[in-house]
Structure 1
Amino acid sequence: MGTRNDLDGLIGFVGSDDLWRERLADVMDEHLLPAMEEFEVDFEELGDILGETWPMVLWGAAFEDFLGRFYEPDGQNFVDVYLKRKGGSETDSNRAYIEGLRDAPVSLYEVSKIEPGKSMLVRDLLTGSAPVMVREKSATRMLKPWDRIAVRVVPQGDHHVISGALLPFTPDASDLLAEVLRDALNLGKRKKLRLSADQLRQCAPLFSNAWLFESLPGALDPEPMQLANAEGDELLFHDLRFPFAKGVVQKDVMTRLAEMPAIQPAGPKAWNWLAPEDERNNRPTGGLVVAQMNSGNTVLGTLELKGKALILSVNSASRAERGEILIMESLKDLLKRPLSAIQTVDQVMANRDQIDNGSDEEEIPPDIARQIIHQQLDQHYRDTLNQPIPALGGKTPRQSVRSAAGRKKVVEWLKLIENRSANRAGTPLADYDFRWIWEELGLERERR
């Protein structure tokens, strides 16, 4: 006897029938061939390229599509044929699941209200239908709020479940899917996608196509990550140690630092060196930009008093040069010329690993570190609400929510930053609570 949501009987049956096996192979080609031909790869290579689980997920997506197809001349459906011949070997619940899988079209869903190991709310982004709560164990332990997934939602008695073939969609893959769906269905580029179940069934292979065309390029030829600061300079960490001149005490240095407009307090004996206002939006393109912000201004470096020295820490050679000039011009009678220590990103990471592995105790307890970072994020996002955001057309979030169109943009922006934060597993960012931002902007009802 089969168990609930078990497709072994179907898989075995299709393997024993030449006609249905040939039809399944044709569906598989629709899902996989466009990408495999474009990137010149074989199905057997996909596991090594993408990861060993993905070939079977893609096979499952094609198989689920095959289960919902009807063939001429008499409208034959594989599920109907199987249940007529072998249905007696299936439990009632598994039979109902198979029939539900046959009827359920694939779609792109947005995930929210996740209860790990229990359930999640899924909202269909392509049909506009009401959100559905589904019971799910394994996927809910991996998915994060606002993740997007291509999957089938299947009624199961008094509740819903999802099918086994689940493809995670990045924002780029989602955009690509929308583009190919519009082309396939001859829809206008500006018209909101609102597809019928029949249209989704017709376009089922495009979900696999879009996922593969977005996933394969990076897997086949991953570009080395280029780390740069906000000016586009290569990351190279400099610590400049300015020894005190004879007779100088910390209070003398603190008094002089307080007179410098570009130097802002960040702690009892710590300061941020901020970029001028006209450098605020000077951002390079390409690579990964590493930038720390303070009230909208880029933090060019940090200053700290340690014993008889002032330490300037910056992340590029050009900033080290600028910082040395600034400090020596403003405090030249208090400090001596600096001694410099320089480290690459790899050296910094290696040193961090050695510290983590060589010490049983951390300098700052994890709970305290998490609290500090969350407080910094609170301040950062409070500042951000009053700063122009490119994704919002150069308006601030507070300005944008005043119109219906602006509110929609802010909702999408919030979902994006919350999702990216939630996916930073193992860091304090992963469990940062964004609810207060939604409430602050009057969007709490949109957070579903």
Structure 2
Amino acid sequence: MATGIDISGLIKWAQRDEWAEMWEDVFWEHVGSGCESFDLDTDDLPRVLGEHQFMNLWGCAFEDFLTRSRSSDGQTIVADYLKRCGWKEPVPVKRYMQALGTSVMSLYEVSDIVPGESFLARDLIRGGEPVRISERSASRMLKPWDKIGARVVEYSGKTVMGGGALVFDAAAAERLLSAMAELQKRMRREVRKIAKDAGEPLSDAAAREATALIVLMNSAWVFTGVWLDHYLPRVLGLKRPKLVNHDGDDIVFCTTRYPWASGTGAEAIRDRLRRVPDFAEASDTFWNWIGRAPAADAGGGEPTQVAGPVAEILSTTLDTGELVLGNIEIIDGAVVLTTNSMARKERGSALLAECLGDLVRPPLTEIQTVEQAMAESAGRSPAPSGPPSEAEVEIVRKSLDAHYRETLDTPVKMLGGVSPRAAVRTAKGKEKVVAWLKYLENQSHRNPDETLASYDLSWMWEELGVPDRRR
């Protein structure tokens, strides 16, 4: 278990005839939908998920089982076990079992991590102030603003996490929160009606609190169901859907190289590129070609619909929210345009031809399909690497400082098309800014490049006047 507390006696008790069938039913509630959707048996799950992930899933289901009452006599397995075998267990273990037996699973946002010791966890469903969780192993693996489904209980003067804990990425967390919000919406009417009929009408706040608790007491299986539905396709290696970009074009990687004409210099090229409004300069040798997707996306709606099989959208956006249509780079006496579709290659080439004119010679284009790119990547040996020098780290830090400082005064799509500095002037805008900062920080810490992952974004919270929300 995550707490290191031994409840093996209780686990063994669940195998007894009077509890085994109920446990199997509860476990199936948690995994049945995922197994049926992907044609799996429960025995397949350890192999498919991996032992570690399976045990986390199993722990979520078992801790839910501990809260269930037997229909024949209304007794829980915890009460039954402690009544008949409690004399075998130390007092702290008995108290932990009892705490689990009355706990609920919720979704928590992680912050202020002390590796090997603890982290803060904010309940995203019930709200309230974050609590300090004493936890050794998970605190070494979690990143700021990760979201985890878990049970939090009081034990021996500490707040600890149960053994069943699942990490939800941003998409899965959003899906779970939407499902829970819908369940609460339906239940709130019933809660109000019951209270009114009993002559004790509830305030809005009390109704929300009671509804959230009731829903959480009865919906642990929703957490595991959403997690499995989101996680299984990845680990099963299912056939990848058709890849398209945000315009609906099939993904084809195009590299178009424009050799410099005789006598052309880098400064002349830079001067021309800087005249194009849609070319956002990232450095002296690199530009992002930015623009908007089709009209539906311009208003923040869905990307272009693609006829035929379900498609996976492959797109890149800047931190400011603009869609990246391609990149322009100065490399070894040439200007190189890279795009992810033939249509974008044609559009980008037309822009460059008009922009650069006689500074460059006719281009050559190399085309690579997704399958070819994957095959090449699979056969390529990793480049030797080592820890970056202090000078390299400092260069990266200064570049990121400059980039993010400029971003604070730039319209950001996630903030409704206004700059972060403008957004924090209103209460609603401030909420969006906090969510945006959390997103940036979480993605930064999960970057495989250690130099980028270690970049400290805390100054942005201070700059925008919301350091108290960074918890």
Q: In 2, Cα distance between the equivalents of 1:414 and 1:255?
A: 32
Which residue is equivalent to 2:85?
86
Aligned position for 2:442: 419
1:278-327 deviations in Å (ceiling 9; x for gaps): 99986955512135689968574434274xx3433433555655565555
2:309 corresponds to which residue? none
In 2, Cα distance between equivalents of 1:361 and 1:175: 37
Distance, in Å, in 1 between the alignment partners of 2:109 and 2:348 is 46
Query: Which deviates the most, 207-216 or 132-141?
Result: 207-216
Counterparts of 1:37-48 in structure 2 under 5 Å? 37-48=36-47
Q: Does the 8 Å contact 1:243/1:337 carry over to 2?
A: no
Q: Which amino acid aligns with 2:425?
A: R
Structure 1 residue 273 displacement after superposition: 7.0
1:170 aligns with 2:185: no
Deviation string for 1:354-378 (max 9, x for gaps)? 5744x5789xx46555544444443
Distance 1:259 1:170, change over 3 A: closer
From the superposition, tell whether residues 224 and 182 of structure 1 become closer, same or farther in structure 2 (CA, over 3 Å): closer
Residues in 2 aligned to 1:311 and 1:91: alpha-carbon distance in whole angstroms = 72
Contact 1:108 1:151 in 2 (8 A): yes
Aligned position for 2:225: 209
Superposition deviation, residue 9 in structure 1: 0.9
Structure 2 distance, partners of 1:241, 1:218, is: 39
Question: Out of 326, 330, 336, which is 1:304 matched to?
Answer: 330
Superposed CA RMSD in Å reads: 4.0
SS at match of 1:87: helix
* 2:287 alignment partner, one of 243, 251, 272: 272
User: How far apart, CA to CA, are the structure 2 residues paired with 1:328 and 1:199?
Assistant: 61
- Residue aligned with 2:315, SS: strand
Q: CA deviation at 1:141?
A: 1.6
Shift of 1:6: 0.6
Equivalence for 1:6? 6
Q: Is the 8 A contact 2:315 2:324 kept in 1?
A: no
SS at match of 1:386: coil
Match of 2:198 in 1: none
Task: Specify the alignment match of 2:132 in structure 1.
Answer: 133
Letter in 2 for 1:153: V
Cα distance in 1 between the residues matched to 2:325 and 2:47: 42
Given candidates 331, 338, 341, the residue that maps to 1:314 is: 338
Provide Cα deviations, 1:138-186, integer angstroms capped at 9, x if missing partner: 1112111111111111212121211111111233333333344345452
Question: SS of the residue aligned with 1:76?
Answer: coil
Alignment-derived partner of residue 102 in structure 1: 101
What is the SS of the residue equivalent to 2:164? coil
Q: Which runs of 5+ in 1 are unaligned?
A: none
Q: In the alignment, is residue 240 of structure 1 matched against residue 257 of structure 2?
A: yes
Q: Deviation per CA, 1:94-145, whole angstroms, max 9, x where unpaired?
A: 2222222223222111111111111111111222243211111111121111
Q: Distance in 1 between matches of 2:292 and 2:230?
A: 38
Counterpart Cα distance in 2 of 1:293 and 1:14 = 50
What SS does structure 2 have at the residue aligned with 1:152? strand
Cα 1:399–1:249 change in 2 (3 A) is closer
Check the 8 A contact 1:237/1:343 in 2, yes or no: yes
**For 1:226 and 1:415, how far apart are their aligned partners in 2?**
29
Counterpart AA for 1:181: M
Residue in 2 that maps onto 1:250: 265
Over 3 Å counting, the alpha-carbon distance change for 1:241 and 1:37 in structure 2 is closer
Deviation track 1:385-419 (CA, whole Å, cap 9, x = no partner) reads 33444433333333322222222222223222322
- Alignment length (residue pairs): 436
Partner-residue secondary structure (3-state), 2:431: helix
Describe the SS at the equivalent of 1:111: strand
2:196 corresponding residue in structure 1: none
Partner of 1:69: 68
1:54 aligns with 2:43: no
* Structure 2, unpaired ranges of 5+: 190-203, 305-311
How big is each residue's C-alpha offset from its partner over 1:53-91, in whole Å with a ceiling of 9 and x where there is no partner? Answer: 333322221211122233356542222222232223222
Tell me the CA shift for residue 219 of structure 1.
4.7
- The aligned runs of 1:144-223 (5 Å cut-off) are 144-185=143-184, 186-187=186-187, 194=209, 195-220=211-236, 221=238, 223=240
Q: Secondary structure at the match of 1:289?
A: coil
Is the 8 Å Cα contact of residues 116 and 141 (structure 1) preserved in structure 2?
Answer: yes
Give 1:407's aligned amino acid.
Answer: K
Q: Percent identity?
A: 34
Structure 2 contact 325–344 (Cα < 8 Å) conserved: no
In 2, distance between residues paired with 1:44 and 1:176? 27
In the TM superposition, what is the alpha-carbon distance from 1:347 to its structure 2 partner?
5.0
Paired AA for residue 66 in structure 1: F
Cα contact 1:275–1:298 (8 A) shared by 2: yes
Q: Which residue in 1 is equivalent to 2:195?
A: none
Counterpart of 1:337? Answer: 362
Within the candidate set 427, 430, 436, 1:407 is matched to: 430
